[in-house]
């Protein structure tokens, strides 16, 4: 029996989406789901969802991670270390220094500290995978994606870890709708780093769709009031993550009130989303307990993990975007760092594509992004807490808003705020 382990299964909305999408494939209707969470209530809710959504599947649960991973063919990681409370600290402490953030889970001071508190968990997860399911594919959804994938590639290179994110899919989907071309008729090539990749080619029947996008922007002044559109017009290629995310990875926007207003940037957006996720969990828990209808899911949630699993089971070949260490994949980004590229799926696994060199201006921004990633990973791998400060000093949006002295003080304050969640070597 093919076994899929969910680590952090208490992220019930995401667990529910994956359960629905996996079991929508007839070949996967009778797989085994092994669910793990350290929160017993959330684990019980996840198990209830699994038995409701996948009645023909076998469902087992364990609060002991290694036990839950035994015999797994695929491990799906969706853990958020520290939960909603840590997320609020990621926003509240920097805000007290005058630093604006929108999402705070990938780069910036929020991303740095989310990575730092996730690395100890990844150490344990990797050790458990190697001990009880060494041939399993580890499919990571937890952010900060690039930091987590680079950390795993550094400390546990034998783990078959792949990072999955649906941002490229939805970027191409929404752009195609904007210019009136069916998404399934479009050919595209995207590469870069997670949350800052680029649509390098975007075509319909051999014709570039970028001129049609230019016309749509010209016809709608409101479209120009988006960070992604502003970046596209300056750089020549469309970025693959939302404007909220994209505003945090460059020095041009969040440090300027006029740009926040001009481009309608929602400061603290993820703090609100995180609170909504808690409310959705509580509604789902209560509906399961009472037998009422569950809160509705998005009709078109498209995640890559079900496609990976289906290809592993059936051998069906398909192409998705993945995050892996850069070993000859993007020639003008540093070797060993986490990059996002296309990959072919089949029965044998995940096969990333080499895409060559990015346009220089795009590679330059990606290298700036990866500098922060590399220093954050090095802080823990080398046991050098000074690299946490170095990462924050090199972060584009943080450096644009604060002085070097303020950044150092902010790192001290964030370290104190997150306390024992952080590795001992950087506290």
Angstrom distances, CA of residue 271 to CA of 90, 110, 261: 9, 11, 19
Residues in the chain: 427
166 is catalytic: yes
Angstrom distances, CA of residue 392 to CA of 97, 191, 383: 14, 25, 17
Nearest CA-CA partner of 107 in 64, 57, 143, 63: 143
Angstrom distances, CA of residue 12 to CA of 31, 38, 282, 294, 329: 19, 13, 10, 12, 35
How far apart CA 159 and CA 383 sit, in angstroms, is 22
Nearest CA-CA partner of 249 in 380, 394, 119: 394
> Which position among 84, 166, 183, 204 bears the catalytic label?
166
Annotated active-site positions, please?
Answer: 166
């Amino acid at each position: 029996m093919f076994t899929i382990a969910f680590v952090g299964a208490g992220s019930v909305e995401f667990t529910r989406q994956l359960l629905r999408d996996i079991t929508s494939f007839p070949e996967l209707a009778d797989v085994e789901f092994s669910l793990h969470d350290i929160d017993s209530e959330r684990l019980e809710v996840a198990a209830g969802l699994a038995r409701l959504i996948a009645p023909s599947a076998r469902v087992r649960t364990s609060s002991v991670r290694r036990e839950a991973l035994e015999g797994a063919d695929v491990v799906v990681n969706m853990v958020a270390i520290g939960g909603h409370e840590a997320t609020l600290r990621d926003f509240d402490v920097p805000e007290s220094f005058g630093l604006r953030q929108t999402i705070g889970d990938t780069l910036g001071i929020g991303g740095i500290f989310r990575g730092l508190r996730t690395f100890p968990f990844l150490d344990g997860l990797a050790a458990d995978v190697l001990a009880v399911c060494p041939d399993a594919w580890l499919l990571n959804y937890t952010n900060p994606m690039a930091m987590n994938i680079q950390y795993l590639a550094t400390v546990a290179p034998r783990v078959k870890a792949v990072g999955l994110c649906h941002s490229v899919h939805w970027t191409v989907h929404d752009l195609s709708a904007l210019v009136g071309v069916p998404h399934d008729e479009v050919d595209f090539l995207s590469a870069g780093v997670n949350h800052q990749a680029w649509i390098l080619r975007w075509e319909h029947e051999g014709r570039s769709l970028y001129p049609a996008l230019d016309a749509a922007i010209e016809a709608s002044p409101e479209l120009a009031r988006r960070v992604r559109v502003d970046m596209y017009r300056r750089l020549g290629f469309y970025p693959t993550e939302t404007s909220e995310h994209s505003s945090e990875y460059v020095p041009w926007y969040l440090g300027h009130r006029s740009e926040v207003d001009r481009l309608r940037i929602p400061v603290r957006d993820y703090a609100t989303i995180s609170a909504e996720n808690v409310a959705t969990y509580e509604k789902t828990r209560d509906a399961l307990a009472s037998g009422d209808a569950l809160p509705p899911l998005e009709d078109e949630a498209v995640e890559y993990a079900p496609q990976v699993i289906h290809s592993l089971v059936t051998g069906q070949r398909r192409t998705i975007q993945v995050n892996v260490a850069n070993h000859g994949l993007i020639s003008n980004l540093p070797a060993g760092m986490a990059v996002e590229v296309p990959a072919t799926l089949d029965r044998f696994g995940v096969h990333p594509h080499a895409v060559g060199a990015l346009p220089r201006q795009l590679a330059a921004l990606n290298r700036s992004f990866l500098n922060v990633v590399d220093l954050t990973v090095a802080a823990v791998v080398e046991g050098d807490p000074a690299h946490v400060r170095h990462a924050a000093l090199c972060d584009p949006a943080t450096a644009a808003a604060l002085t070097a002295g303020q950044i150092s003080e902010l790192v001290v304050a964030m370290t104190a705020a997150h306390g024992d969640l952080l590795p001992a070597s950087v506290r």
